[in-house]
Amino acid sequence: MVAVLYLLIVGMRMQLQIGHANRERDMATIQLPGDVQAGVWLNSHTAENAVIMAMHVPIVYHYSQRNTVWFPPSRNPQMLMDGILRYKINFVIVVARNNSYYLPPDEESFDSLHKSYPDKLRLVHQTPQFKIFQVIASTAQVP
């Protein structure tokens, strides 16, 4: 009974510490995920009819408010380019992830594509968390 009471007190104390830390957190120090940052940038720097290719479609769609198509994790550059052309993709988001649900990660998939079609993709924006490439074959322009 004493051990259970002790564990309850320790657990409650830990929960209170976490709650206090969450309440006091300075929002300016929170780093938004790369998908969110890329979506916000695309929202303010692309035409409303731009079509985006990204691995995390719901997040990018929400923040960019642009049509978004899934960027499949693949090292097959021909398949990726076929999808880009079929869906008339204007911009591709490549996020640097510490851990990825999808394998290969964004960067590996995109590297194979970019090596095979270097003249079709132009870097238009870059941060440590993400890169945005414009598809040259498309009609979308960065304002």
Confidence at residue 40, expressed as pLDDT on a 0 to 100 scale: 96
Q: Which residues of the chain are modeled with pLDDT < 70? A: 24-30, 137-143
DSSP string computed for 28-79: GGPPPPHHHHHHHHHHHHS-TT-EEEESSHHHHHHHH-SEEEE----S-HHH
pTM value?
0.76
Q: What CA–CA distance (Å, rounded) separates 19 from 134?
A: 43
Confidence at residue 29, expressed as pLDDT on a 0 to 100 scale: 65
Confidence at residue 5, expressed as pLDDT on a 0 to 100 scale: 92
